[in-house]
Structure 1
């Protein structure tokens, strides 16, 4: 991260407020990366991100113009800040997806894609904080049994075919049988909330009796 930060800022003159804004936006980029699916529901495309631990939901950003191709001397202060964030996103996003693709030599076996798993899609010119993803609907192995192409169902409902080289598996792979469904997750949350409320009422009753 520090390497990309030095490359995008370089010798730019930024005031304290502008520099803090750039760091905050870069922090949101890092905390928006998908980690693992939230449920085993095939219609649920939601994934767990570091933003869920910070604010309880994924991080989003408003759409903005692309300032990467505009000279810096023609931009205002806010546009320069957005330009720095967009440059960082392009570099780090491409490097992060490349790190998720495990490339081994022919002497080592690599596991094939599993039907039903959520994968990230490599695309060009992706907006900031946007992670194109889909769920594997069908795999197409070659004569040797190695999966080369997969059919991906997008969140919009469309189905597309992508080569395995353009697909990235989430960093934390969990068996679909171990993931709770959407209904089970909501029931668990309600039950935990109810139990905590009952325990709190029990403690209040004990304290009132002791005071008496």
Structure 2
């Protein structure tokens, strides 16, 4: 009965409740709150719709924003890092700071729901070359979800894969990063 979207609504509401109960957010004007809610809607609607069935060489992740606007590109919305001091300088910076707080919490809480929950005692197959993953990356702009393909699996001393090299294609440029498996969400396992 709508468990998936009810869970997303619950996550967004829990984040907003904790943010708006904060002492710094008590004096928001109607315009600031309206703009913040528009930013929150943009963040929530930029999430990937799973399962992702994209070619890793030309990644285009289907999102609700693509369905709503019929546009296939991401509008850059990251205007830089903002601190708590910026909240007092202008209302726009206040909204950007609050949107960044929401985005950080949304990434931490929502990305975990994309992974299949399994008991930790089960032995799971290691990530391997050819697996398609989402990269949990805090350095990317708002509303971006980097999709990558594993090019090399690096085993640790216990013969388990703990790090991988991930190839990400962005703006027609191919980049390879080394990431721990805790920063990846497996989408498609290469069989």
Band the TM-score falls in, shorter-chain normalisation: 0.7 to 0.9
Residues paired across the two proteins, number: 172
Cα RMSD, aligned residues only:
2.9
User: Is the CA contact (8 Å cut-off) linking 2:147 and 2:168 kept in structure 1?
Assistant: yes
Match of 2:18 in 1: 7
Q: 1:127 to 1:148 in 2, by over 3 A?
A: same
The correspondence for 1:94, drawn from 86, 108, 130, is 108
Within 5 Å, give how 1:148-159 maps onto structure 2.
148-155=162-169, 156-159=173-176
Match of 1:70 in 2: 85
CA–CA distance in structure 2, aligned partners of residues 12 and 66 of structure 1: 22
Return 5+ residue gaps in structure 2 as ranges: 1-11
Match of 2:69 in 1: 55
CA–CA distance in structure 1, aligned partners of residues 155 and 174 of structure 2: 23
Larger helix percent:
1
CA–CA distance in structure 2, aligned partners of residues 43 and 126 of structure 1: 19
User: Is the CA contact (8 Å cut-off) linking 2:150 and 2:166 kept in structure 1?
Assistant: yes
CA–CA distance in structure 1, aligned partners of residues 48 and 161 of structure 2: 23
Query: 1:114-160, CA deviations, whole angstroms, 9 ceiling, x for partnerless residues?
Result: 53343122334443223233211233456876433222112132322
User: Is the CA contact (8 Å cut-off) linking 1:45 and 1:135 kept in structure 2?
Assistant: no
SS at match of 1:130: coil
CA–CA distance in structure 1, aligned partners of residues 125 and 114 of structure 2: 14
The correspondence for 1:22, drawn from 36, 50, 54, is 36
Within 5 Å, give how 1:21-170 maps onto structure 2.
21-35=35-49, 36-40=51-55, 42-56=56-70, 57-70=72-85, 72-73=87-88, 75-101=89-115, 104-141=118-155, 146-155=160-169, 156-170=173-187
Q: 1:140 to 1:102 in 2, by over 3 A?
A: farther
Structure of greater Rg = 1
> Under a length normalisation based on structure 1, what TM-score does the superposition of the two structures give?
0.66
Query: 1:44-64, CA deviations, whole angstroms, 9 ceiling, x for partnerless residues?
Result: 122222222211225423331
Q: 1:106 to 1:25 in 2, by over 3 A?
A: closer
Residue 79 of structure 1: CA displacement?
A: 1.4
CA–CA distance in structure 1, aligned partners of residues 136 and 105 of structure 2: 13
SS at match of 2:47: coil
Query: 1:78-111, CA deviations, whole angstroms, 9 ceiling, x for partnerless residues?
Result: 1111111111111111222344455754532324
